[in-house]
Amino acid sequence: MIISLLKKYQCDFYPILGKSFQKEDFCKIDLNVNASDLDLNAIQTYDGLDLYIQNELKKKGAKVGIGGYLEKRVLYQQSNKYKSEAENRNIHLGVDWWSEVGTEIYSPLDGKVHSFQYNDLFLDYGATIILEHELEGIVFYSLYGHLNFASLENLEKGMLIKKGEFFTSVGNRHENGGWVPHLHFQIIKDMMGKEGDFPGVTSDKYLSEFSKNCPDPNVFFVY
């Protein structure tokens, strides 16, 4: 079980947003369709979602909002990427770290660049980096989405990224797929042959399959 393995090494992980933040700088942001105080229509616009997140951070005295694993959301209904006649993908497979543009992102453990690309559809990942890791002979991957363009410029497949190394930053809406600035962070056991991209949202139909392949990334919250 990958989560059991990760918990074994959790105390050694480097904080993903670096060491300038303290635990009290973070708060939970709930975007589930059943959240009691959520205006589901308002958050389907950039300005409405941004206002909600900023208000939540201010109310809770926090700098970064975290949440989203297996949340069912309305956020994706604006984009045809997540809709088809066969399924409606609206269940989030990663965690989001809502923070300012330019927030630095560090590798939580040693790895190497598996792949990277700019996913340019509306409400897609935008600039994306996927790292490959190995612990006790078990290979798994970490995906970082909604990044800045600049971080892709000097990357090469197979490049080593050391634990604690700064390697990318949160991008703005013009480079991150059109989103309110944040990091999408996801763990993947099997890349299923994909490079530079991997589904970050699934449907009820495929939830069991994808939740097993993409376990809870909150194990990397080590502040």
Residue 36 pLDDT > 90, yes or no? no
CATH superfamily of 2-213: Glucose Permease (Domain IIA) (2.70.70.10)
- Return mean pLDDT, the chain: 94
From residue 88, alpha-carbon distances to 74, 80, 124 in Å are 10, 10, 15
User: pLDDT tens for residues 4-29?
Assistant: 999 999 999 999 999 999 999 999 99
Give the pLDDT confidence score for residue 83 in this predicted structure. Answer: 66
Q: Provide mean pLDDT across the span 110-116.
A: 98
Number of H helices, E strands in the chain: 3, 12
User: Do 104 and 166 contact (CB within 8 A), yes or no?
Assistant: yes
Between 57 and 154, where is the model more confident? Answer: 57
User: Do 83 and 77 contact (CB within 8 A), yes or no?
Assistant: yes
Q: Provide mean pLDDT across the span 71-100.
A: 84
Give the pLDDT confidence score for residue 151 in this predicted structure. Answer: 92
Give the pLDDT confidence score for residue 130 in this predicted structure. Answer: 98
- Using pLDDT thresholds of 50, 70 and 90, give the confidence band for residue 84: low
Alpha-carbon distance of 143 to 1, in angstroms, equals: 19
User: pLDDT tens for residues 122-172?
Assistant: 999 999 999 999 999 999 999 999 999 999 998 999 999 999 999 999 999
Residue type, 23: K
Give the pLDDT confidence score for residue 79 in this predicted structure. Answer: 73
From residue 27, alpha-carbon distances to 60, 70, 179 in Å are 7, 17, 19
Which helix (H) or strand (E) element contains residue 48?
helix 46-60
**How big is the CA angle at 160 (ends 215 and 175), to the nearest 5 degrees?**
70
Residue 99 pLDDT > 70, yes or no? yes
Q: Provide mean pLDDT across the span 180-200.
A: 98
Which residues, in sequence order, are CB contacts of 206 under 8 Å at separation 6+? 87
pTM for this structure? Answer: 0.96
For the chain, what are the domain ranges?
A: 2-213
Residue 135, strand partner residues: 138
